[in-house]
Amino acid sequence: MDAIVVKGNGPLEGETYASGAKNAALPILASALLAQGEHQFRNVPGLADVHTMLQVLGALGCDSQRLSGKSKNVVQIHVPAPGKVLPEAPYDLVKTMRASVLVLGPLVARYGRARVSMPGGCAIGARPIDQHLKGLKALGAEIELTEGYVEARAKRLKGATITFDLVTVTGTENVLMAAVLAKGRTLIENAAKEPEVEELARVLNKMGARISGAGSDVITVDGVDALHPVDHAIISDRIETGTLLVAAAITGGNVLVRHAVPEHLEAVIQKLRQTGCTVTSEGDGIRLKAPARVQAVDIKTHEHPGFPTDMQAQLMALLTTAQGTSVITENIFENRFMHVAELRRMGADITTDGHTAVVRGGAGLSGAPVMATDLRASASLVLAGLRAEGKTTVSRVYHLDRGYEQLEKKLKGLGANVRRIKER
Ligand code: EPZ
């Protein structure tokens, strides 16, 4: 297994860039199942989770290839005729990445049946898919849960009004992908408003779907009989952008993150400004200039456009170095403080009580061997290592590789003392 070794090395300076968005790429790659033929997706990040999604599509009968050379982030997917698609997503793939459940909607809509392993939970929570299934049932799918698999069948899905009990990003995406081929009109109420949901709707409309309202809490879909393949460049990753901005903030640096979209990160940008950082749009990116030490701020995670849960761990790392005390409330997942114990090992003063963490800043961090437990927790430990005195070794960085394309290379390009090593 790989580990990342970081040594505090002063302020990060210079220019880097955000890769394509993981949480847009995953549903978009799954949506290829909706249209037979040759799809081409650009700006597809080279991530473990993307590789897993392509493996799932391969298991279903869709071959794919990543073009090499300068266009290395281009993925081509061949979707065969319906008869050649085996609509079964196996457990060994789904268990490595729960977002594989995103093939469920497209499979039922286009092939009339699907057998997808239940994704199971992960480190940050139980992560049920009851809302996904509620939406598909409302569209007329018959759903059975047998031997840990979801079996779904439908002759032809029929449009319906679906009101989610809670806001779910992939639940909205799964139902949206099913509705585009349903007969008649579908209303998705209490829909997720993340930029990645809007991007998926953009791609589906390019394929011939008729969707309006994506990005608001009511999405309207008028079903069509067929869709056609698409060539699309995926938006950049707002969470990677935010992570790189925090790398500048935690080291008192001055960094420009290119290919970044400020509108996708408003809540994070406002919080970083509240800590005393200057954040400005510059060309096709976002520049952050940080004071030597930031100020404490309180954070509450919420669905978009609120503060994203995927940035909570990274801000916590920053706030351990702040002047003053911050209160962080995690409202989305039940167990997303796994990074707290590891940050404490580095000398951070954090106490947690249920969904709330109190971060007393200023103690100064010291390098230590720490362990990554989930994707964003691993990023927060690397960030803390950038500021800590001495050496920090973050083990189990396969968690990091799920969602960040060569993070250590990007940080090194900004002057960080960071390298990847092979551990036993
Ligand atoms: C998406 O996960 C993202 N993943 C997550 O990013 C992100 O943290 C999350 O949205 C919230 O923004 C992808 O887009 C691939 P949810 P998702 O359904 O869709 C509960 C990362 O770090 N819920 O919006 O699985 C659920 O348990 C990852 O990139 C139900 O109860 O999240 C959670 O408490 C981590 N029943 C809340 O809703 C359901 O049927 C929000 O979950 C579905 C969800």
> Does the beta carbon of 403 sit less than 6 angstroms from any atom of ligand 1?
yes
Do 201 and 256 reside in the same domain of the chain? Answer: no
Pocket residue to mutate for ligand 1, from 165, 170, 309, most atoms within 8 A of Cβ: 170
Do 397 and 411 reside in the same domain of the chain? Answer: yes
What CATH number is given to the structural domain containing 361? Answer: 3.65.10.10
pLDDT of residue 292: 95
Choosing from 176, 206, 233, the residue where a domain stops is: 233
pLDDT of residue 71: 67
Do 139 and 158 reside in the same domain of the chain? Answer: yes
Do 220 and 260 reside in the same domain of the chain? Answer: no
Continuous segment of H or E residues that includes residue 22: helix 22-31
CA 351, CA 357: separation in Å to the nearest integer?
6
pLDDT of residue 291: 98
Do 143 and 100 reside in the same domain of the chain? Answer: yes
Q: Which pair of structure tokens corresponds to residue 424?
A: 């036993």
pLDDT of residue 211: 98
Do 242 and 226 reside in the same domain of the chain? Answer: no
> Does the beta carbon of 8 sit less than 6 angstroms from any atom of ligand 1?
no
Rg value, the chain, Cα: 21
Strands 369-371, 391-395: pairing kind:
parallel
């702040």: which residue's tokens?
322
Do 205 and 246 reside in the same domain of the chain? Answer: no
Q: Which residues of the chain have pLDDT under 50?
A: none
> Does the beta carbon of 134 sit less than 6 angstroms from any atom of ligand 1?
no
Considering its fold, how many domains does the chain have in total?
2
Q: Is 5 exposed, middle or buried (0-12, 13-18, 19+ CB in 10 A)?
A: middle
Do 227 and 256 reside in the same domain of the chain? Answer: no
Q: Which pair of structure tokens corresponds to residue 99?
A: 């977002």
Do 273 and 387 reside in the same domain of the chain? Answer: yes
Q: How many angstroms does the Cα of residue 367 sit away from the middle of ligand 1?
A: 32
Q: How many angstroms does the Cα of residue 376 sit away from the middle of ligand 1?
A: 13
pLDDT of residue 362: 84
Atom of ligand 1 nearest to the CA of 332: 34
> Does the beta carbon of 314 sit less than 6 angstroms from any atom of ligand 1?
no
pLDDT of residue 116: 94
Q: How many angstroms does the Cα of residue 102 sit away from the middle of ligand 1?
A: 12
The range of the structural domain enclosing residue 303 comes to 2-16+237-422
Do 364 and 263 reside in the same domain of the chain? Answer: yes
